Amino acid sequence: MKMEVELDKAQKRLRDIELALNESSIVAITDNKGMIQFANDKFCEISKYSKEELVGSNQNIVNSGYHSRKFFQDMWRTIGNGKVWKGEIRNRAKDGTYYWVDTTIVPFLNENRKPYQYIAIRHDITKRIEYEEKIKLMAYYDSLTLLPNRNLLQKWITEHVIQCHNQLTVLFLDIDNFKSINDNFGHQIGDLVLKETARRLKLCLRRSDFISRQGGDEFIIILNGLYDKEDIIKVVVKIQEQVSLPFYVNDKIIITTTSIGISKERLKGTKDDICHLLETLIQQADTAMYHAKKLGGNTYEFITPNQNTQMKRYYLLEEEIKHGLTENQFYILYQPLIDLRSHRMVGAEALLRWNNPQVGPVSPSEFIPLLEEKGLIIPIGNWVLKTVCKQLKRWQENGVYLQRVSVNVSPIQFTADDFLNDIKQILNETQIEPQLLEFEITEGTLLNVEVSSKILTELKRLGIKVAIDDFGTGYSSLNYLKRLSIDTLKIDKSFIDDIDIDDEIIVNTIISMGKHLKLNVLAEGIENEKQLNYLLQQYCDEGQGYYWSMPVTADAIQRLYELGG
């Protein structure tokens, strides 16, 4: 009877505040123990329970288990002290589905200022929470592997790095030869391999560690509190074993390996200092991974002082190269191409050089990959071609008539959509005869024969010659050469240096192949008479190297030509 009286009072109070509610409000009244005394229709609708099932049951009937024990302890402490509590709660309906409600719990107090009843007013915010979760997923998680992405890595660094027990280890992982998986099996299977790799990596880690996908086939792992080298190696070996287990994808067996770079440091300083240090550790681990790749992959490397120095230089060059072209830091030298029988200069190879004000001359082996990585190789390549064409025009005006000038073309530039249009525009602007140009491409550029064949055919139609640079070091085959429009084979310098029996066999084979295919054969890196005589005996057509001249300026080429080449 007493309960009915109290419930009647509560319902009267509810009617008094119903103007503040709307028809979407989910309302329940409980006693001070959480036993439900009243539930409105909206509560029944969202919870999938009938009023008979709700009334008389504990409020825990809709507990989803999502929130921590402390969450509810704080809530009960607030309302137990007679204060209003507000918050968002995830509940579970009778059918097992989950829903979110924005909740306000108001205590009713007796004459002793103690709560004897509570009214909970809720509003369904499930769609809003799901939308926010979707946005969060898109912003902070990789859509393929569902691992944290770069954004969440940065957020984690900012929010959690101070809790890293004063020591930190970073692993930078890259799947070896992953491109070949995409090329041979397709991107769909490549994606499945990445998803399974992510799952396996998580199996190797502790709850306190952090893993993120950087993009492509690269992953970053932060080993929280792990610093001893032997312990780190145990984790790394476990990762390598997991990754190298066969993948069974769509009736196909795929074997992968991984290269891992490792950096570690004890943490000190302010939070900002530690965040900056972690960024540095990631860069160092990336550098160490690159060195593991150079060792052949399927291994791991700890960052070394020497690698650290190289990394600092890399990042300096990365910044400086952005201004190289606009500030006229790039220039072109020319190395003569010599007819081995007559010793006459028949052409020249244009060689790009970079002299940076801060670091001085930079090797092409350093800056060419950097140009490609930073998306600058196409504008630089077009600048080189235009500069060479203008120089050819000046030489002709001064009576210098070379048979051709060779220009190196990056694989990225060669396969770019605008490559042919850019060439036609430059030829039109400079009014140079196309047959005076020869494009040097690497064997790797020819891997996609169908695409390469179309481009090479168009170049031949324009009148431009084509040479395969560093021939013998890549992937070309006789079948490729028969199908492609090639003019010259350039024998790589490595086969000419200190010619021994093995090198002689390779050089003889290349020259013989070129002769049978009616191609011009040129040997690079000739430095002495012994090399020259050997090549003459094998009927090699042309050569270049320090035996005649190092790369020189355009003016020096003119003087050499006037002196008889």
- Cα torsion 419, 421, 425, 431 to 10°: value is 80
Take residue 410 and report the two structure tokens written for it.
């990056």
Banded model confidence at residue 211, pLDDT cuts 50, 70, 90? very high
Q: Which domains does the chain have, with CATH numbers?
A: 2-130 (3.30.450.20), 141-303 (3.30.70.270), 324-562 (3.20.20.450)
Q: Across residues 156-181, what is the average pLDDT?
A: 78
- Of 290 and 555, the structure prediction assigns the larger pLDDT to 555
* 522-547 confidence digits (pLDDT tens): 999 999 999 999 999 989 999 999 99
Q: Which of 4-8, 90-94, 323-327, 502-506 shows the lowest mean pLDDT across its residues?
A: 4-8
Banded model confidence at residue 20, pLDDT cuts 50, 70, 90? very low
**CB 260, CB 238: distance < 8 Å:** no
At residue 21, does pLDDT exceed 60? no
Take residue 518 and report the two structure tokens written for it.
């009616």
- SS3 assignment for 263-310: EEEECCCCHHHHHHHHHHHHHHHHHHHHHHHHCCCCCEEECCHHHHHH
Banded model confidence at residue 474, pLDDT cuts 50, 70, 90? low
Banded model confidence at residue 315, pLDDT cuts 50, 70, 90? confident
- By the 10 Å C-beta count (0-12 exposed, 13-18 middle, 19+ buried), 255 is classed as exposed
What is d(CA 265, CA 300) in angstroms, rounded to the nearest whole number? 17
Take residue 131 and report the two structure tokens written for it.
């939308």
DSSP-based three-state secondary structure for 99: strand
Q: Across residues 53-64, what is the average pLDDT?
A: 94
- Of 24 and 118, the structure prediction assigns the larger pLDDT to 118
User: In the chain, how long is the greatest CA-to-CA distance?
Assistant: 123
At residue 51, does pLDDT exceed 90? yes
- Predicted pLDDT at 501: 67
Take residue 21 and report the two structure tokens written for it.
């509610």
Mean pLDDT of the residues in the chain:
87
Helices (H) and strands (E) in the chain, counts: 21, 21
- Predicted pLDDT at 3: 52
At residue 305, does pLDDT exceed 60? yes
User: Which residue shows structure tokens 């995409």?
Assistant: 182
* 89-100 confidence digits (pLDDT tens): 999 999 999 999
**CB 526, CB 532: distance < 8 Å:** yes
Q: Across residues 107-126, what is the average pLDDT?
A: 92
For the whole model, what pTM was predicted? Answer: 0.58
